[in-house]
Amino acid sequence: MNVNLLQFADDTVFVCESNVQNIKAILRCFELSSGLRVNFHKRKIGAIGVDSYEVKMYSEILHYGLMDIPFTYLGLPIGGNQSRRSLWKPVISKIRKKLSVWKGRNLSFAGRVFLIKFVTNVIPLFFLSFFKAPVGVCKEITKLQRKFLWGWGEEGRKIVWTSWENIFKAKEEGDLGIRSIDLFNKALLEKWLWRMGSSKNGLWKDVLESSTDFGGRQIHLH
């Protein structure tokens, strides 16, 4: 399946073989017809399976900057290794900031539970929907949750009212209903499998079903 053009919100990505001159002509025609000019300081060009000299030549033709892989798009690292802890550092850092001990000292027990639920449901959602979190990352996030919930008051003063496994149980079962990061991650990823089987059409599904061979030459203009 050939995908020549991708659009998301106000972004357009051209996927091509080597017709860079044609792309430049299209952009120039767009400038002349609309009166809008391309901001070359924000434009990038990247490639897969293409010689670096060739990519540099294309960037000079278009006056685009070179795009390193992995790169960040809409806050999500594209082309990174999901099993490396470095990819998850931004997520862990944000969770640590939100679940700092000093905040827990100024909140009631119900307030700490609410904040843990909010942070767990929102901050890592985007990452967990696309990447399988390593075991070490899940343990680190769980450690931050546990420390924030029980580690209130003076340093070393901790009262653990129940085992952490019970914390993950639903409220209907008499517990707090805090989500397990590991199970939350699995549920979000398996939802894609469910959508794959239940959806009748969609570009993302057509691309996945057409082929798993991504070894060809691809040039991406962003």
Residue range of the domain that includes 120: 80-179
Looking at residue 214, its pLDDT comes to: 47
Q: Which pLDDT belongs to residue 100?
A: 78
Low-confidence ranges of the chain (pLDDT < 70): 1-5, 9-18, 101-104, 151-166, 169-175, 211-222
Whether residue 190 is contained in a domain is answered as: no
- The reply to whether 54 and 89 lie within a common domain is no
- Tell me what pLDDT residue 186 has: 92
Residue 186 lies in a domain: no
What pLDDT is attached to residue 145?
83
| Angle separating helix axes 52-62 and 20-34, nearest 10 degrees | 20
Quote the pLDDT of residue 118.
85
- C-alpha 121/C-alpha 102 separation (Å) is 21
Side-chain half-sphere of 15: how many Cα atoms within 13 Å?
A: 12
Please provide the DSSP assignment of 67-101 as one string. PPSSEEETTEEES--TTSHHHHHHHHHHHHHHT-H
pLDDT for residue 117: 83
In a domain, 158, yes or no: yes
Same domain, 85 and 154: yes
Q: Are residues 143 and 97 in the same domain?
A: yes
Contact, 128 vs 82, CB < 8 A? no
Residue 47 DSSP one-character state: E
Regarding whether 89 and 52 lie in a shared domain, the answer is no
- 1 by DSSP, 3-state: which? coil
Tell me whether residue 185 is in a domain: no
Q: What is the pLDDT of residue 14?
A: 65
> Exposed, middle or buried, 5 (CB in 10 Å: 0-12/13-18/19+)?
exposed
